[in-house]
Chain A
Amino acid sequence: MTTPAKTTPPLNNSRRRLLGMIAASPLLVALPGLTRHSQPATRAIPSSGEALPLVGLGSWISFNVGNDKAARDASAEVMRNFFQAGGRLIDSSPMYGSAQEVIGYGLTKIGRPAALFAADKVWVSGGDAGRAQMEESRQLWGIPRFDLLQVHNLLSWEAHLPTLFTMKANGRLRYTGITTSHGRRHGDMEQLMKSQPLDFIQLTYNLYDREAEQRLLPLALERGIAVIVNRPFQQGALLRRLARHPLPSWAAEIDCSNWAQFALKFVISHPAVTCAIPATTRVAHVLENMGTASGRLPDQAMRARMAAFVDSLS
C-alpha cells in the first residue's frame, strides 16, 4: 500500500507545490486490480497545477521512420493507443530525423486528440535560427502552438531562453524548459534551475542512472519545477541487462510482472518526477507502459529495495 506521505519528502509551503500534491495524492494511493484501460495516475505541473499522466511518449529512433508509409501507420497506431490509454505528453526534437513529421502524420491520422500535450525542443545555435526552427517544428506537428518547448541539451540556452519566455508571455507557448541526458551538464542545469523561471527540466533517470537523485530532483521539488525523465530504459539496454535475471517475487506487491514495469515504476514513483517518456514502436509496449501508471506504485522503502536489488545483480 502506497501513500503520498511515505513517498514524498517534507513539503515546502509554496502554494503551487501544494496544488501539485493535491492533484497527485488520490492517484498515488494503491489501486490494485486496475485494468490497463483505467486512467493513468497524474502528477501536477508545479507552476500551474495542471495534471499530467505519469507516463508520456518519447520519439527518438522509434518514430524516425522516414517516408515509410507502413511504419508511419504503425507509429500512428502507437499514438492512437497511447491516447486511448489516457496518455498526453509526446516529446520530440528537430534532432530526431523525421520523428516530428511522423508525429504530425499520426496526429492528423487519428484526429489530433484534445488531450495532446505537445513537447518539443529547440536544437540549433543562435536566437534567429532557433525561432525559425521552432516555427518549422510547429508546422511539422501541424498544431497551433506547443505546450512545452525545451532547450535541447542546453545548446545555445542564452539565446533561446529569452525567446521561450517571450513566447510564453505572449501566449504562444504554455511552458518552458531545458533538457540534458546521459547525466551530462548537471552542474549547468542546476545553475539554470536556480537562476531562470523554468517550468520544466528534462533529464535521464533510471534504475542504473540515479545521479539526479543527489541534487537535481530535490532541487526541482524545492523550486517547483516539473521533471520529465528521458531514457527510463536506457534505450532498452537496461532491460536487456536485467533480462538475464528473474524478477523478484516481491515485484508483485507493486503490480509488476516484468522488468519493464519494474523499471518504469521505479522512475515514476520518485516524488519529483512529473512524467517519464519511454519510446516504443509497439502497441503492446505503449499499453504496458501506460498501465504502469495505473497500478500500485512503490513507496520510499520499496524504491530503496528496488535500487538495492538491481545494484546487487551487477
Chain B
Amino acid sequence: MSEWWTYSLRDLLLFSPSTYYRLFELYNIEWWPLQIFALALGMIVLLLLRNGSDQARKAIAVILALCWLWLAWAYHWQRYASINWAASYYAAAFALEALLLLWLGVIRQPPGMAEARNKSGRSGMVLFVFALLAYPLLALLPGRSWTQAELFGMAPDPTALATLAIILLGSVRPAWWLLPIPVMWCLISGATLWAMASPDFWLPPLAALLASAMAISSARKFSGQT
C-alpha cells in the first residue's frame, strides 16, 4: 500500500475479530487432540527447568525449536496466511527462531550454566507458568469461546511469551539473538489485538517488554560477574 505509514492501525486490519478468533477455533478443531500433547510438552519443560542439567537445557531448546517450527508451518503458513498475506513473512521469522534456538541452545550451548536464581529467574518462572496455564483462559473473555483457546506450542502468543520466560530463566545463553523475534511478534500481536479492540491487547507487548528489559539487565549483571 502506498503511504501505508499514514494509515491508522485500524485501517490496515485485514479481517474482523470474529474471523480472527474463529481461525483459532478451526485450527484447534483440526489438530485436536494435539493440544494435550502440547500441554504435556509444557509440563515437561517445567520438569526440565527443575532438573537444570546441561542435557535438560538442551532438551528445552529442542522443544521450543519444535514449537516454533510447528507454528511457522501449521499456524502461520497453513492458517493465518489465509486471511493475512503478511503471515508468510511471519512463518519465515518463526522458522528462523527455531533455527536460532537449535543453534544457540543445542549446538553452541556452553556447559555448566546454572539456571538464574535471581529476580529475573523468578519472573521467568511466573511468566512461563502464565503462558502455559493462564493464557488459554483468555478464551473465556466475553464474546469468545473456550474452543478458541490459545495454547503454548500451538498458538504464537503463549509460545513467544514462554520463550521469553526461558530466556529470562537463563536456560539458553547467550540470549541476544533469541530475543528480537518473540519480542517483535508480541508487539505485532498487541497491535493486531488493539486494532480489533480486544481488551487483552496490552498483555503480549507488556510482558515482552518487561521480559526483555529484565533479560538484558540480568545478562549485563551476569557478564559483569564473570
Contact = CB atoms under 8 A, between A and B. Distances in A.
Contacts of A64: 14-15, 19, 83
A96 interface: yes
B16 A281 contact: yes
Given A71-B22, A182-B7, A97 B84 contact: yes
B39 to A, nearest CB: 26
Nearest to B25: A68
Contacts of A281: 16
B23 A153 contact: no
B7 A97 contact: no
A97 B85 contact: yes
B1 A66 contact: no
B203 to A, nearest CB: 24
Interface in B18-76: 19, 22-23, 26
Given A66-B19, A68-B22, A97-B15, A153 B82 contact: no
Interface string B175-200: 00000000000000000000000000
Given A64-B19, A66-B19, A68-B26, A96 B3 contact: no
A96 B13 CA distance: 10
A177 B2 CA distance: 17
Contact of A66 (B3, B7, B11, B79): B79
Interface residues of B, number: 19
A184 B8 CA distance: 13
B6 interface: yes
Nearest to B20: A66
Contacts of B14: 61, 64, 96-97
A155 B83 contact: no
Contacts of A71: 19, 22
B143 to A, nearest CB: 16
Contact of B19 (A68, A95, A154): A68
A184 B15 contact: no
Contact of B2 (A96, A97, A154): A154
Interface in A87-106: 95-98
Given A97-B15, A153-B1, A155-B2, 4 more contacts: A61-B15, A65-B22, A68-B26, A184-B6
